Structure 1
């Protein structure tokens, strides 16, 4: 049964990471961090969880914003909203697969509230930000009482709604390396509607070509909504590397991708349909990444 009224809780609004960690240490299992709240508050209304203390991260300026680092990569604060990513010229010009993803996520109202950190920490297999970040070789910064650690986005997820983040840790930033010359990526999402829907299948592709823009020197392919966690397909990547990109090669790579996924059948799509669509979307994503390099 869906319960609309939120359970009773105490709200805390720290203004620093240290203060937020202190509050979590005090309340332990009775506390939860909250960012945009678009997933957490819904879970509370459904009585899936009932934390007695919500520790808001929204007042912590260090967790917000998009900036270039000294090496030309980008740092995205975990509290940056999807709408801010959508509007960012940095993301639009250099990290287009992530822009592809946020463009097809939720509604404008939700994108104004939902944060990239919250989307990652929810660890839903169909979450759209994970595949493009994996394809872009992104990493995450986690801060806890024992200090800071970095983990790749690929290694972050351990199962549906499960990650390596400990309850007392805060995801503070997403780091994406500087794009290499002659490289580009793409994210394509299949959904039942044109907007406001979860992914049936999501495919992100990244290619780096040689100086002549003919031969693939590096490839990363990431799939979403077809396994308990977002996955890469190394067999496809190995097939593409050191070969000239053409329709025949990409068609074979896409066929292998369709064989490597591990989806389930549910109300949105059957296992067989998802595997077929992985093949279709992988071919489209790889060819679009190639087009973006050579255009």
Structure 2
């Protein structure tokens, strides 16, 4: 049985904010794939749960008039993977969340919960980093928007206040248009596995598809929080897609920007090896997806 003090089914975002504000011991539940586990283990025992599961306004993916994409925080992984707008504009993110757990988890778990839990192993986290996603939070004082690069403050910690509801994520048109992307998850098995390491790369090539105009490199489980590697990204600007020396240099620079640790899943030394390999592999696959040529 779950040790709960109370349960409130919010009818809309304002109602959820009001319920959270009225009770400092309250926390949000949506899909419940993480929250209920914590409650069952006694970590969140005695909490009041405020459910945002049935708030339709925070579900789905929308293409805004200015070309930006808005992903509702209550969108489950299965819907995200199969959404036509995601498949057309940001398939990398859909592929990333399709590696989460099994079908049951993907049918219940939401993108909002995956990001707001603050876990560096979240499969959506590296992809949202390279998409420069903006986190939309609504609280008693209205809405505020936080760049994903400023959202995480430590392992399992974010800037979201207890009485704020994450309503969704904004991805600007210039952050996805003209890019191709690839997410690679490393784990000990292919399904039902928490990432030992996750790597996301986005690339924009020139018109001739021979040189790199921009590259973004993001990781999960390579540091206490999901991260980007800006120095490695800068090192590849203008590089030929076939320039193996520049690519090796980019990998070496990335290794100076990560901070992996040893855990029961993998040693620090092993993670560094995977970090270098995935940086190279994801980059090459992203280049090929955009029609570029690489040295095999």
Please indicate the TM-score interval, normalised by the length of the shorter structure. over 0.9
Offset from partner CA, 1:156-211 (integer Å, 9 cap, x none): 11111100101111100111122555421111110000111011111111111222
Alpha-carbon RMSD: 1.4
Corresponding residue for 1:160? Answer: 155
Corresponding residue for 2:97? Answer: 102
SS of the residue 1:294 aligns to: coil
Question: Contact between 1:135 and 1:204, CA under 8 Å: does it hold in 2?
Answer: yes
Corresponding residue for 1:43? Answer: 38
User: Would the alpha carbon gap of residues 19 and 198 (structure 1) be closer, same or farther in structure 2, given more than 3 Å must change?
Assistant: same
Say yes or no: does 1:251 pair with 2:248.
yes
Give the counterpart of 1:84 among 79, 84, 104.
79
Question: Contact between 1:15 and 1:61, CA under 8 Å: does it hold in 2?
Answer: no
Offset from partner CA, 1:224-274 (integer Å, 9 cap, x none): 101110111111101111222223322321232233211111110000000
SS of the residue 1:112 aligns to: helix
Say yes or no: does 1:172 pair with 2:167.
yes
- Distance apart, 1:217 and its partner CA: 1.7
Corresponding residue for 1:215? Answer: 211
Corresponding residue for 1:22? Answer: 18
Q: Distance in 1 between matches of 2:230 and 2:4?
A: 47
Q: Distance in 2 between matches of 1:106 and 1:49?
A: 22
User: Would the alpha carbon gap of residues 76 and 51 (structure 1) be closer, same or farther in structure 2, given more than 3 Å must change?
Assistant: farther
- Distance apart, 1:43 and its partner CA: 0.4
Give the counterpart of 1:281 among 270, 278, 281.
278
SS of the residue 1:54 aligns to: strand
Say yes or no: does 1:138 pair with 2:133.
yes
Question: Contact between 2:30 and 2:51, CA under 8 Å: does it hold in 1?
Answer: yes
Q: Distance in 1 between matches of 2:262 and 2:6?
A: 40
Q: Distance in 2 between matches of 1:133 and 1:222?
A: 9
User: Would the alpha carbon gap of residues 182 and 78 (structure 1) be closer, same or farther in structure 2, given more than 3 Å must change?
Assistant: closer
SS of the residue 2:108 aligns to: coil
Question: Contact between 2:8 and 2:49, CA under 8 Å: does it hold in 1?
Answer: yes
- Distance apart, 1:51 and its partner CA: 4.0
Q: Distance in 2 between matches of 1:201 and 1:258?
A: 14
Superposed, 1:47-126 pairs within 5 Å as 47-126=42-121
Corresponding residue for 1:267? Answer: 264
Give the counterpart of 1:226 among 219, 222, 232.
222
TM-score in terms of structure 2 length: 0.94
Question: Contact between 1:185 and 1:204, CA under 8 Å: does it hold in 2?
Answer: yes
SS of the residue 2:4 aligns to: coil
- Distance apart, 1:52 and its partner CA: 3.3
Corresponding residue for 2:289? Answer: 292
After the TM superposition, which segments of 4 or more aligned residues of structure 1 sit over 3 Å from their partners? 179-182
